[in-house]
Amino acid sequence: MRRKNQRGLTLVELVVAFSIMLILTTMAVPLARSRVRIEREKELRWALREIRTAIDKYKDYADAGYLGPQKLDADNYPDKLETLVEGVKLQGQVDKKIRFLRRIPKDPFTNSTDWGMRSDKDDPTSNSWGGQNVFDIYTKTTEKAPDGTNYSDW
């Protein structure tokens, strides 16, 4: 006994509508996750490139003699990453410092500025730092890229 002006959804219509919404959301979640991973990979590549460029620039200035005498075992590489941010006095200048980085970029996977470092005397696949200088950096995450390589090998 239904009234003529009464409106509403039947149980079947509600089940069909929720099923369609469920199917659409299950398709959207993996796409969103892959998009987040792609963005993190871009940020990681950018951060690695920025820090490695700063290390190379420091090495070029030290080799040219602009930074004055360097430590013997440093081989003209910075002794720590913070040196690139704090700056180094130029030889022959009283007040002039050159900075190679404004700040140490965050690692998008660990969400910190704590990067793994390698000295030029360390094994290229080593995960420990000898402490002599900063020749290279890597991320400390244990995650793997979609192609199976470790992000720490980038």
Q: What is the pLDDT of residues 14-67, one digit of tens each?
A: 899 999 999 988 888 888 888 999 999 999 999 999 999 999 999 999 988 888
Residues contacting residue 103 through CB under 8 Å, at least 6 positions apart: 85, 113
Structural domain tally of the chain? Answer: 1
User: Whole-model pTM?
Assistant: 0.78
Q: Is residue 152 part of a domain?
A: no
- Which of 113, 151, 150, 115 has the alpha carbon at shortest distance from 136? 115
Residue-by-residue DSSP string for 10-73? -HHHHHHHHHHHHHHHHHHHHHHHHHHHHHHHHHHHHHHHHHHHHHHHHHHHHHHTTT----GG
Percent of the chain with pLDDT over 70: 94
Give the structural domain span for 72.
11-144
Q: Is residue 3 part of a domain?
A: no
Q: Is residue 92 part of a domain?
A: yes
pLDDT at 106 over 60: yes
Q: Is residue 33 part of a domain?
A: yes
**Per-residue pLDDT reduced to its tens digit, 76-93:** 899 899 999 998 888 877
pLDDT at 137 over 70: yes
Instruction: Please tell me the distance from the alpha carbon of residue 145 to that of residue 154, in angstroms, as a whole number.
Output: 10
Q: Is residue 121 part of a domain?
A: yes
For 39, counting Cβ atoms within 10 Å of its Cβ (0-12 exposed, 13-18 middle, 19+ buried), the class is exposed
Q: Is residue 117 part of a domain?
A: yes
Judge contact between 73 and 133, C-beta under 8 A.
yes
Q: Is residue 16 part of a domain?
A: yes
> What is the band of 3 on the pLDDT scale with cuts at 50, 70, 90?
low
> What is the band of 5 on the pLDDT scale with cuts at 50, 70, 90?
low
In this predicted structure, what is the pLDDT of residue 4? 64
In this predicted structure, what is the pLDDT of residue 125? 80
